[in-house]
Amino acid sequence: MGKPTGFIDYLRELPLDRQAIERIKDWNEFHAHLEDRKLQEQAARCMDCGTPFCHTGRILNGMASGCPINNLIPEWNDLIYRGLWREALERLHKTNNFPEFTGRVCPAPCEGSCNAGLVAAPVTIKEIERSIIDRAWEKGWVTAQPPEVRTGKRVAIVGSGPAGLCAAAQLNHAGHDVTVFERADRIGGLLMYGIPNMKLDKRLVQRRVDLLAEEGVNFRTGVEVGRDFPARRLVTDFDAAILATGATVPRDLPVKGRHLNGIHFAMDFLTANTRRVVTGGANGAFISAAGKDVIVIGGGDTGTDCVGTSMRHGCRSLVQLEILPRPPAERQPDNPWPEWPKIYRMDYGQEEAAAVFGADPRVYLTTVKEFLDDGQGNVAGAVTVEIKWVKDASGRYSAQEVPGSEKKLPAQLVLLAMGFLGPEQKLLDELKVERDARTNVKAEHGRYTTNVKGLFAAGDCRRGQSLVVWAFNEGRGVAREVDRYLMGSTLLP
């Protein structure tokens, strides 16, 4: 490494975001970049550790530890320290098809397992990654690279989310003719409609889609396989097919009053709003939080996105309910490095709510037991109850109500952001695809083959709800196995 003492000489530093009270006035991204000198200092903090854990990509204690796509982090950190930006881009693209996406939406498990984090703050890996790819686009270094030779093999991909796009990019580079089916009106899946614009500008998604199309990928939007395109044609008209449909069945909350108007699944709220932003307001059919008391149920990324979106609408009040306890301020003994640190953080949405309403909107160890009717079929509020987690004889925890802890909260809009149960089943039934106990497509990680010859599965429809970067891992992985299936061997990384 160029600066062996960099982690001693320099403190961790991130660029300042736009002020929360200002950024809620628009839908633009709010992250800035460090100047070059500062960025090189941050890259210099990569400490030349003998065994780097940042790119291991393993699951420890149920969570990702290190980069799931095995980014060559120490290599491009060193190159940035030495000012070799284009060489850093080459290293970055060796493992990551779309670093401008992960550089914005990935929670950075690499930083949680950074060796420097054992003695000080971890390296700003995510910021460096985003800076490399953003500069590359600005300088015109990212250009279409169509394959020189076509194999004549045809591959269908159902779903254009992160797994589907990665698989499409890799298989197209291998020379296969790739067709991606997407039922929405735009390509990108979760990247286009599931993540708000202020977190991932949709122009960046469209820019990559346009590049893939220029390289030869065939995109078919507004086509739902099983409805607009017969499912059986996936296996009769193509040499191989990949299911990358995601896990889109939301977890519901079946309590009294659930039928009331004004209670929505988070993705219905986020998707309609992002479509409106992308179309410049041409689509008027969206769910507005303007002037309303909002309750968001669920504490993950989707819940945070609901908070940030509601703040931009101009909600009157906002409460976010989390059934789990508040995380500790520091790592606990049962959460050692290099596991992902399960500590208290405020994400962008909570920062914005706190700036307007004066405090973190999250209420922990709380759930809803009843929704209240305004007398006209609309939700008027919710009865909440505190819970405690009790371990039974088998060691399993279950949530139990705390007697006498009921409270009433006003609400004219309730957003359910409690995660996803698995993929939609209709297409899988039609294809007679075997599923596991969680209703996911049954296909072994690393092989991705289903029980149907020539049909593969990857991403959330196979592994269940997960991180975008794991979808990248599986998209690249399934591309290797499809290429091997078609050609007898593969050179795909």
Rounded Cα distance between 43 and 35, Å, is 12
Rounded Cα distance between 337 and 114, Å, is 9
Burial of 78 (0-12, 13-18, 19+ CB in 10 A): buried
Rounded Cα distance between 346 and 415, Å, is 19
Q: State the CATH class of domain 252-418.
A: alpha beta
pLDDT at 48: 84
Rounded Cα distance between 34 and 42, Å, is 9
Structure-token match 């050609």, residue found: 487
- As separate numbers, helices (DSSP H) first and strands (DSSP E) second, the chain gives 17, 18
pTM of the model: 0.95
Multiple choice CATH, 154-248+421-487, 3.40.800.10, 1.10.8.100, 2.60.120.260, 3.50.50.60: 3.50.50.60
pLDDT at 1: 67
Rounded Cα distance between 108 and 12, Å, is 15
CB 189 within 8 A of CB 182: yes
DSSP lists the bridge partners of residue 179 as 156, 218
pLDDT at 62: 85
pLDDT truncated to tens, each residue of the chain (493 aa)? 668 899 999 999 999 999 999 999 999 999 999 999 999 999 999 988 888 999 999 999 888 899 999 999 999 999 999 999 999 999 999 999 999 999 999 999 999 999 999 889 999 999 999 999 999 999 999 999 999 999 999 999 999 999 999 999 999 999 999 999 999 999 999 999 999 999 999 999 999 999 999 999 999 999 999 999 999 999 999 999 999 999 999 999 999 999 999 999 999 999 999 999 999 877 668 999 999 999 999 999 999 999 999 999 999 999 999 999 999 999 999 999 999 999 999 999 999 999 999 999 999 999 999 999 999 999 999 999 999 999 888 889 999 999 999 999 999 999 999 999 999 999 999 999 999 999 999 999 999 999 999 999 999 999 999 999 999 999 999 999 999 999 999 999 9
Rounded Cα distance between 185 and 206, Å, is 12
Tokens for 384, please give them.
């909440």
Contacts of residue 436, Cβ cutoff 8 Å, sequence gap at least 6:
442
pLDDT at 445: 93
DSSP lists the bridge partners of residue 435 as 441
Q: What is the DSSP string of 313-343?
A: HT-SEEEEEESSPPPPSS--TTS-TTS----
End-to-end CA distance of the chain: 25
Rounded Cα distance between 457 and 445, Å, is 9
CB 381 within 8 A of CB 339: no
CB 382 within 8 A of CB 372: yes
The answer to whether domain 6-139 has CATH 1.20.1090.10 is no
Intrachain domains 154-248+421-487 and 252-418 with the same fold = yes
The domains of the chain are located at: 6-139, 154-248+421-487, 252-418
| Bridge-based pairing state of the strands 263-265 and 455-457 | unpaired
